[in-house]
Structure 1
Amino acid sequence: MSRHILYARLIGEGAAAGHPALLRLLHDITPVVGAVPPDAAFADVGGALRYFGCDAARLAGLLRVRALALRGTDCVIGVAPNPLLARMAADGRDAPGVSEVPDDPEAVAGFLAALPPAALHGVGEATARTLASYGLDTVGRVAAAPPATLQRILGAARARRVRALAHGTDPTPVVPAAPPRTASAEHHFGHDELDAGQRRRALLTLADDLGHRLRGTGQAARTLTLTVRYADRSTTVRSRTLAEPTAHTPALAGAAYALHDALGLQRARVRAVALRAEDLADAAHTTRQLSLDPADERRRRAEAAADRARRRFGRRAAGPAANLRRPDAA
């Protein structure tokens, strides 16, 4: 039975931060979505083609348009009859767009023939070097090699696997993945950062990014970890268990500030700071202590409005005024 697999990978600034949004867009098309962190995903759209009234390539084009219009991020999408070929079709593009490998043995053989064996996902560099030492330096030559030859070179089990890959065969199903248990964001300074105020601005930026992503996936963090990287390449790592699971940016930023200030860095030469939200929980099943402070409720309503603006106009549409301009998320 023929399958219709998409492999979509976000590109450009903020690709990792847009990963939850990509998963949501794919889930709007099909429930069979497998996340490939930090910025990609597989989707089996075979059951959706009749509903949308188009083929897989056109559906991929629709997904790309929606990603641009709703999230402000572009992507490259591979379309093929299995995950191996879909991923390779996407990896073979140098620019955003859709690449398709038809479900036809001759088309598959032509697509793979001139590629090096290392281009096959599942064939490592060591295996590729071993094959090349026997003159099998292209996928086409590996596919044409007698099974007995491959078995002598690689051993029985690995030879069967490599031969199947060289013929473009990959029965691996797309398995819907559970929500991630961690989320992280990192900022690299352009120089040794001695200013504690600038480091705190970076931490606010990262906390805002994490909060937005967690709220988008309906998750809340129980633990926050700060990593500080110095000019001599040493690092300091500190963690704090939060008073309650949260995705609220001020709460995450406050915990990040406390971790940072407790280090007493003073004149430390800092190259990068990173935050990691850990032990993530379903926000719908966590409890939040009610606040009698009306300002807190106003902040949460403003946060929700900012999230809606970001979903519609892009991640820079709204956020804390002290945000740095270019956070690097992972």
Structure 2
Amino acid sequence: MTTTTAQQQLRHIVHLRFELPDPARLQDLRPLLEQVTPQVQLLEPDHAVLDVTGALRFWNRDAAEIARLLQLRAAAHHGLRTAAATAPNPMVAAMACVLTPPGHLTTVELDAVAAFLRPRPVRELTGVGPTTARLLIQHGVHTVGDLAGLPLATVQRLLGARTGRTLHDRAHGHDHRPVLTEPVARSTSAEHRFTRDELDPAQHRRALLDLAGQLGTRLRTGAQVAAGFTITVRYADGSTTTRTRALPEATHHTTLLARSAYDLYESLGLQRARVRSITLRGENLSPAEHATRQLTFDHTIDKTLLIEAVQDRARRRYGTDVIKPAALGHPAVRWRYTSM
């Protein structure tokens, strides 16, 4: 037995879904949950995940009994009905909790994980979005069991190497993600100030590309993704215009962030505006490991993202300015030759 497998078998995860009248109240529940275990991760707007592995001996209870205790305390102290599920890993616990009515508890034991997952529709598997689900169904993969029954190489040919391996592992009930106890920053921003009030839309777009690159690098370094985007344009007279938009999918890829930034910029309809500065803010941040990228059937995007990974490695080693888009390079120097 490998160390990874042993660690997975020893895990006991509780997933809770609260009936909150106000999503802002989720943070109020943290002290109650941390009375049971410090391994608590809040998932907005109304979910919480707890790793109670280390708390079993202290409470002299199993994971299901701890989940019932949490349901009782949430009702007694906050008047909340709570759906709960326990499982050997966060993915199975989350999938079981979605199927559990408020006030009830579902327990999936380690030896029952395969039986629980096998009949579930493939679209319910963590990481399978609408586009991926349609592609799998077109190839006769309707359930998680169908996906688990395919050879890894076949899944990777359909979905790509990284996504294919991840979903193949999850279809077999494997999920090694930890419960993250530290809260994730909710937003991050970058600002570009022009040396003079700028009229040229081409320079505005050049600044947007640079800002998207800064945000993308920062998000990837922090293993985060952004689900929303805000652009703020400050003009020569000091006034500002702000636009906010939810991204089609949470991402940390510079190419996708830049496209959204361009779309937001175009929505402003600027006509001969003297722009003093532009600020981009990535919002609703979450851990990158919880995000999925939908298939686009556009191979140029896949190539761009592979190049981006190479660029990140080079920048970590040689500095942030070692590689940049051609549009952000210095203007070409024009040489003039003189005949002698």
8 Å Cα contact 2:20-2:26 kept in structure 1: no
Identify if the C-alpha distance between structure 1 residues 165 and 181 changes in structure 2 by more than 3 Å, giving closer, same or farther.
closer
* Aligned match of 2:219: none
Selected match of 2:129 from 124, 148, 170: 124
* Aligned match of 2:281: none
Q: What TM-score comes out, normalization by structure 1 length?
A: 0.52
Q: Partner letter of residue 17 of structure 2?
A: R
- Does 2:21 match 1:13? yes
Selected match of 1:50 from 42, 53, 57: 57
SS at match of 1:162: helix
Selected match of 1:163 from 161, 168, 179: 168
Identify if the C-alpha distance between structure 1 residues 180 and 156 changes in structure 2 by more than 3 Å, giving closer, same or farther.
closer
Does 1 or 2 have the higher relative contact order (CA < 8 Å, sep 6+)?
1
- Partners of 1:29 and 1:21 lie apart in 2 by 15
Selected match of 1:72 from 53, 76, 79: 79
Mapping for residues 257-268 of structure 1, pairs under 5 Å = none
For residues 288-309 of structure 1, the C-alpha deviation after alignment (integer angstroms, 9 at most, x for no partner) is: xxxxxxxxxxxxxxxxxxxxxx
* Aligned match of 1:26: 33
**RMSD, aligned CA:** 2.2
SS at match of 1:47: helix
SS at match of 2:54: coil
Mapping for residues 295-310 of structure 1, pairs under 5 Å = none
SS at match of 1:48: helix
Q: Partner letter of residue 156 of structure 1?
A: A
8 Å Cα contact 1:32-1:45 kept in structure 2: yes
For residues 268-317 of structure 1, the C-alpha deviation after alignment (integer angstroms, 9 at most, x for no partner) is: xxxxxxxxxxxxxxxxxxxxxxxxxxxxxxxxxxxxxxxxxxxxxxxxxx
Identify if the C-alpha distance between structure 1 residues 111 and 66 changes in structure 2 by more than 3 Å, giving closer, same or farther.
same
Aligned residues between the structures: 183
Q: Which runs of 5+ in 1 are unaligned?
A: 183-235, 238-330
Q: What TM-score comes out, normalization by structure 2 length?
A: 0.51
* Aligned match of 2:157: 152
Selected match of 2:104 from 74, 97, 100: 97
Q: Partner letter of residue 161 of structure 1?
A: T
- Does 2:142 match 1:142? no
- Partners of 2:164 and 2:183 lie apart in 1 by 32
* Aligned match of 2:275: none
For residues 240-286 of structure 1, the C-alpha deviation after alignment (integer angstroms, 9 at most, x for no partner) is: xxxxxxxxxxxxxxxxxxxxxxxxxxxxxxxxxxxxxxxxxxxxxxx
- Taking only the aligned residue pairs, the percentage that are identical comes to 41
8 Å Cα contact 1:118-1:124 kept in structure 2: yes
* Aligned match of 2:269: none
- Runs (4 or more) in structure 1 with deviation over 4 Å come to 179-182
Question: What is the deviation of 1:159?
Answer: 1.1
* Aligned match of 1:59: 66
Question: What is the deviation of 1:113?
Answer: 1.1
